[in-house]
Amino acid sequence: MILRLFKGTGPGVIFLISVTLLLLWAGSFINPATEQAALYDKYPLPLYSLLKTLLGNIPYAGVLFSMIVVAVIAFITVSFNTADFFIHERTFFPAFFYILLSGIFPGYQGFNPVIPASLFLLFAIIRINDVYRKAGTASNFFDAGLLIGTGSLFYGNLIWFMLIILIGIAIFRSFNIIEIATSFIGLLAPWVLTFSFYYVFGKDPGSLIPLIKNNLAGLPELYLFSTAEIVVLALISVVLLVSFVFLLMSMNSKKIKSRKTFYLLIWVFLVTVALYAFVPSVSVEIVWILFIPFSYLLTHYFLFIKRGLFREIFFYLLISQILLMQILHLF
C-alpha cells in the first residue's frame, strides 16, 4: 500500500517525501550528531571552511543546511530522469530513496563537506550525460571538470571522480584528446583561482598544500560500525545486489542512451566503492555520493520487478531498519 503511494507523481507524493525527510532528520535536530574526528574538519578546505564560518559553527544551522542540500539533491535526481527519461517512467522514487538512504547513518546527518560536494558531482554527471549524439561537446566536459574541481574545494576526495569524466568520454564519445584536455583544464581552474586568490589577498598559497595532502592522503580515525549498522548494511547489500542483477538482466531491452546512462551511474557506484576500499583518507562519509547511483538502482527495481511479494518485503524491511537506526540514535 505504502509502495503504491510513493509510486505516484502527484502533489501528494511530494508531500509524503517531504514528511519522510522531516521525520528522518528530526532526530538530528533533537540530538545533533557528534561525528568522530574527521580529516575534513581537522584540515578544512577553502569552501568548506568558508561555509563553516558563514554557518557560525552552530550544529543546528549545519543540520538545517545539510537537510536542505539533501532535499535539493533528491529532487534533482528526479529532474535528471524527467529530462532524459532513462528509467522510462516518470517517478519521484529517486528522491524518495535518496532521502530514505540519508537516514542510515544519523551520525553523518550533521554538517559535512561531502553533501555539497555530492551536489556538484550530480550536476557533473548530468553534464556528461548530455553529450549523447551532440557535436561540439568539449564545453560539457569542461563544465563537468569545473563542477568536480569546485566540489573538491569542499571535499578533497571528490577530485578522484575525474575518472568518471574519462569514463563518460569512453561511454558516450570516441577518443578525443581535446575533450580530455578541456576536462582537466576545468578540473584545475577552481584550484588555480583559489591559489591566485590567496596570493592576491596576502594569504600564503603554500598553506593550501598541507590541507590538500591531509585530505587526500591522511589517515582518519577508524569508524566502528555498531551491530545495528551492520544489520542494516547487510540488508541493504542484499537489496543492492538484487537490484543490480535485475538491472543487468533488463539492460538489453533499453534504448541506447538509457543503457549508457545506467552504465555511467554504475561506474559512479564502482568508483565510490573503490575509493572507500583503497584510498586511506576516505571513510563512511562517502555514502552521500554512493546514495546517488543507489537511488536509481532501487528505483528501477521497485518500479519494474514483477514479483510483488519480494518487492514488498524488501521495501518494508528497508524502511523499518532505517527507522530503527533513527530511534537508536535518539535514545
State yes or no: pLDDT of 125 exceeds 70.
yes
- Residues 313-324 have pLDDT tens digits of 888 888 888 888
- Residues 68-123 have pLDDT tens digits of 999 999 999 999 999 888 998 889 999 999 999 999 988 888 889 999 999 999 99
Our CA dihedral for 292, 294, 298, 301, rounded to 10 degrees, sits at 120
CA distances to 73, 83, 305 from 299, in Å = 15, 16, 10
CB proximity list for 46: less than 8 A, separation 6 or greater: 153, 194, 208
Of residues 309 and 54, more confidently modeled: 54
User: In what helix (H) or strand (E) does residue 97 lie, and over which residues does it extend?
Assistant: helix 93-101
- The pTM of this model reads 0.94
Least confident span in 9-13, 23-27, 97-101, 183-187:
9-13
- In angstroms, the CA 28 to CA 107 distance is 8
Give the three-state DSSP class for 147: helix
Query: What is the residue-wise DSSP string for 276-317?
Result: HHH-TT--GGGHHHHHHHHHHHHHHHHHH---HHHHHHHHHH
Least confident span in 140-144, 154-158, 281-285, 302-306:
302-306
CB-facing half-sphere around the CA of 171: CA atoms within 13 A: 26
CA distances to 42, 203, 282 from 212, in Å = 12, 16, 13
pLDDT bucket at 155, cuts 50 / 70 / 90: very high
The amino acid at 281: S
Our CA dihedral for 165, 167, 169, 171, rounded to 10 degrees, sits at -140
b/e for 282-319, b at 16 or more Cβ within 10 A?
A: bbbbbbbbbbbbbbbbbbbbbeeeeeeeebeebbeebe
Give me the pLDDT at residue 176, please: 81
Q: 310: alpha, beta or left, given left = phi > 0 and alpha = psi -120 to 50?
A: alpha
Give me the pLDDT at residue 33, please: 64
Contact 253, 307 (CB under 8 A): no
Which of 131, 151, 149 is CA-nearest to residue 140? 131
- In angstroms, the CA 243 to CA 297 distance is 6
The amino acid at 240: L
Share above pLDDT 90 across residues of the chain, in percent, rounded to a whole number: 60
- In angstroms, the CA 131 to CA 188 distance is 21
- In angstroms, the CA 169 to CA 140 distance is 10
